[in-house]
């Protein structure tokens, strides 16, 4: 009786566990599917790219399925499949770079391989493999060594690989077959077919341009810097009512810039392989993006140090804090606005915002002056006070360096905008004044994060003022203007 009960319980327990397991499995699978869906939705170009690879593969399979094609190429058709799989990259630049490298390397190495086989045949049946072995060893080693040179590695790494591959294969199989020329021709031709299909699908079906990605990335990175500066007051003076919870995640965005150099370099390198497209001409100054990116990263380094201060619960006497809060808030806000305008100008590829950028930078420089006055007025009364204000003073100095960084970014983008033929769509009334670099702007001081800034920028023109006495504003580039100038 008892054993029966036990057996029944065990059975019930087993079914229960089975049920649990199946529901867990179901949950797990649903969760995973949702993850995959989310991943695809985050960047739908990933799904499109996968489809494109599928299409190219299906197209190239026709070399086998269609009888007349199979008769002409035979099993060499597999080189076309192989080419599609290894050449098709996410960006047009990547596909072009690999395709061209593969094509030319196959051509050169194939010719050399055929030559090597003919040369080796002079040495008789005994000598042939020895000569071929020496040639394969030495050319293989030399080409491998060449791949270490940074210049070759950057642009022709894949070509060198394919060179070794093709040369070895042609030279070695030439020992066993007399139809080496037919083989080389078929291989070259099928690779051309595969490569051409890749390049055509890559360019004409929803292309992903490395250049455009780089362009957007730089603009976004500048936007991230702007977000940090906008959230700056809220981070440092959390008692202020202007803080909003939503900004906190934006504020940390700059961290990705600290280590984005690799991606930028790769994109710039691939962009140089791409033909002119959309707003980008053939000889678009891709290398200049890296210069801007370097300055942007420099700015992000400063944020990282500033951020260390926030994390360490920056404390200062309330009186001192309230004195420096206003100029510091203006400085960071105006520098942030300048960066926003720069990002917008890059994104739209227009010079419309130059005036606004200069105005915001001038405003933040004025705020530096107010900060100097505020600091002077908070002259410490005791030795103890001096030590207490030091973190605040340090923060202020670093922020001044940030303003210098922003100015450098603005200069670099201005230089770049001429090279990249940004369109000028200036209001004719303003253009003359801007030509003389005398445009200043006093935007109405609005609280941080009050919504749509495009509106603010558009409304800013009525506030423009022209100063005569300030033709050469002090150049603070590369110099900490807080202490370097003597009052």
Which residues in the 308-347 window bind a second copy by CB under 8 A? 308-309, 311-313, 315-316
Residue 53 found at the interface with a second copy (CB under 8 A): yes
Residue 51 found at the interface with a second copy (CB under 8 A): yes
Q: Which two tokens stand for residue 16?
A: 């229960």
Least Å distance, CB 392 to a second copy, is: 8
Residue 58 found at the interface with a second copy (CB under 8 A): yes
Residue whose CB is less far from a second copy, 393 or 426: 393
266, 439 contact by CB (below 8 A): no
Rounded to the nearest 10°, the torsion over CA 238, 243, 246, 247 is: -80
Residue whose CB is less far from a second copy, 173 or 220: 173
Of 251, 438, 226, residue with least CA distance to 334: 226
Residue 72 found at the interface with a second copy (CB under 8 A): no
Residue 349 found at the interface with a second copy (CB under 8 A): no
Distances (CA, A) of 239 to 9, 322, 325: 62, 11, 11
Residue whose CB is less far from a second copy, 78 or 349: 78
Region of 284 (left: φ > 0; alpha: ψ -120 to 50; beta: rest) is beta
Print the binding letters for residues 249-288 with a second copy: x by CB under 8 A, - otherwise.
---------xx-xx--------------------------
Q: By CB under 8 A, name the one of 108, 152, 155, 173 that touches a second copy.
A: 173
Q: By CB under 8 A, name the one of 326, 388, 414, 456 that touches a second copy.
A: 388
Q: What is the spatial distance between Cα 393 and Cα 386, in angstroms, rounded to a whole number?
A: 10
Q: What is the spatial distance between Cα 308 and Cα 255, in angstroms, rounded to a whole number?
A: 12
Distances (CA, A) of 31 to 26, 35, 46: 8, 6, 20
Least Å distance, CB 318 to a second copy, is: 15
Q: By CB under 8 A, name the one of 38, 176, 245, 283 that touches a second copy.
A: 176
Of 478, 237, 486, 232, residue with least CA distance to 376: 486
Listed ranges 12-20, 167-175, 361-369, 447-455: which one lies at the site for a second copy (CB under 8 A):
167-175
Residue 386 found at the interface with a second copy (CB under 8 A): yes
Q: By CB under 8 A, name the one of 7, 12, 29, 47 that touches a second copy.
A: 47
Which residues in the 85-104 window bind a second copy by CB under 8 A? 85-86
Which residues in the 124-153 window bind a second copy by CB under 8 A? 129, 132-133, 136-138, 140-142, 144-145, 148-149
211, 280 contact by CB (below 8 A): yes
**CA geometry: angle at 75 spanning 71 and 77, to 5°?**
85
Least Å distance, CB 458 to a second copy, is: 36
188: Cβ–Cβ under 8 A, 6 or more apart, which residues? 106, 107, 110
Q: By CB under 8 A, name the one of 168, 330, 354, 410 that touches a second copy.
A: 168
Least Å distance, CB 233 to a second copy, is: 20
Q: By CB under 8 A, name the one of 9, 20, 304, 450 that touches a second copy.
A: 304
Q: What is the spatial distance between Cα 303 and Cα 308, in angstroms, rounded to a whole number?
A: 8
Q: What is the spatial distance between Cα 134 and Cα 123, in angstroms, rounded to a whole number?
A: 13
Q: What is the spatial distance between Cα 480 and Cα 404, in angstroms, rounded to a whole number?
A: 8
Residue whose CB is less far from a second copy, 40 or 349: 40
Residue 178 found at the interface with a second copy (CB under 8 A): no
Which residues in the 452-481 window bind a second copy by CB under 8 A? 478-480
Residue whose CB is less far from a second copy, 286 or 314: 314
Residue 383 found at the interface with a second copy (CB under 8 A): yes
Q: How is 155-209 classified by DSSP, letter by letter?
A: HHHHHHHHHHHHHHHHHHHTTT-S-HHHHHHHHHHHHHHHHHHHHHHHHHSS---
Helices (H), 45-179: 45-65, 67-73, 77-87, 92-121, 124-146, 150-173
Listed ranges 81-89, 277-285, 434-442, 464-472: which one lies at the site for a second copy (CB under 8 A):
81-89
Q: What is the spatial distance between Cα 316 and Cα 71, in angstroms, rounded to a whole number?
A: 84
Residue whose CB is less far from a second copy, 352 or 401: 401
Residue whose CB is less far from a second copy, 79 or 280: 79
Residue whose CB is less far from a second copy, 163 or 422: 163
Which residues in the 406-445 window bind a second copy by CB under 8 A? none
Q: What is the spatial distance between Cα 203 and Cα 199, in angstroms, rounded to a whole number?
A: 6
Neighbours of 45 (CB within 10 A): 16
Q: What is the spatial distance between Cα 221 and Cα 213, in angstroms, rounded to a whole number?
A: 12
The dihedral built from the CA positions of residue 387, 388, 391 and 395, taken in this order, carries a sign that is negative
Q: By CB under 8 A, name the one of 169, 180, 191, 420 that touches a second copy.
A: 169
Listed ranges 209-217, 236-244, 338-346, 386-394: which one lies at the site for a second copy (CB under 8 A):
386-394
Q: By CB under 8 A, name the one of 161, 203, 250, 349 that touches a second copy.
A: 161
Residue 38 found at the interface with a second copy (CB under 8 A): no
């Amino acid at each position: 009786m008892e054993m029966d009960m036990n057996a029944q319980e065990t059975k019930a327990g087993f079914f229960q566990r089975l049920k649990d397991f199946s529901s867990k499995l179901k949950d797990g699978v649903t969760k995973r599917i949702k993850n995959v869906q989310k991943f695809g939705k985050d960047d739908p170009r990933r799904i499109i790219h996968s489809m494109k690879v599928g299409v190219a593969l299906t197209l190239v399979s026709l070399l086998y399925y269609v009888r007349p094609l199979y008769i002409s190429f035979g099993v060499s058709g597999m080189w076309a499949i192989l080419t599609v799989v290894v050449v098709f990259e996410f960006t047009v630049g990547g596909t072009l770079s690999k395709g061209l490298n593969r094509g030319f390397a196959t051509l050169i190495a194939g010719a050399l391989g055929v030559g090597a086989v003919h040369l080796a045949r002079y040495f008789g049946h005994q000598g042939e493999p020895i000569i071929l072995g020496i040639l394969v060893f030495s050319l293989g080693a030399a080409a491998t060594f060449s791949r270490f040179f940074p210049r070759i590695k950057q642009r022709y790494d894949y070509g060198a690989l394919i060179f070794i591959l093709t040369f070895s294969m042609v030279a070695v199989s030439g020992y066993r077959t007399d139809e080496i020329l037919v083989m080389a021709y078929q291989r070259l031709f099928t690779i051309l077919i595969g490569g051409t299909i890749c390049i055509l699908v890559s360019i004409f079906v929803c292309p992903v341009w490395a250049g455009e990605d780089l362009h957007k990335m730089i603009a976004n990175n500048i936007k991230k810097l702007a977000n940090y500066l906008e959230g700056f007051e809220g981070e440092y003076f959390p008692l202020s009512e202007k803080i909003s919870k939503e900004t906190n995640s934006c504020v940390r965005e700059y961290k990705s810039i600290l280590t984005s150099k690799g991606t930028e370099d790769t994109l710039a390198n691939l962009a140089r392989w791409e033909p002119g497209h959309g707003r980008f001409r053939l000889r678009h100054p891709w290398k200049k993006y890296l210069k801007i990116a370097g300055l942007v990263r420099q700015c992000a380094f400063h944020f990282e140090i500033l951020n260390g201060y926030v994390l360490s619960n920056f404390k200062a006497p309330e009186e001192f804090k309230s004195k420096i809060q206003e100029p510091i808030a203006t400085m960071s806000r105006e520098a942030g606005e300048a960066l926003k305008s720069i990002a917008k100008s890059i994104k739209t590829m227009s010079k419309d915002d130059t005036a606004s950028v200069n105005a915001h930078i001038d405003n933040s420089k004025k705020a530096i002056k107010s900060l100097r006055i505020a600091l002077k007025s908070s002259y410490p009364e005791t030795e103890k006070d001096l030590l207490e204000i030091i973190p605040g003073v340090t923060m202020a100095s670093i922020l001044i360096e940030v303003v210098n960084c922003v100015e450098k970014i603005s200069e670099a983008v201005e230089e770049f905008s001429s090279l990249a033929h940004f369109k000028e769509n200036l209001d004719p009334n303003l253009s003359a004044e801007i030509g003389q670099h005398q445009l200043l702007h006093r935007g109405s001081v609005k609280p941080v994060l009050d919504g749509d800034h495009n509106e603010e920028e558009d409304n800013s023109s009525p506030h423009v003022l022209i100063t005569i006495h300030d033709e050469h504003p002090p150049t603070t580039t590369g110099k900490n203007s807080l202490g370097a100038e003597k009052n």
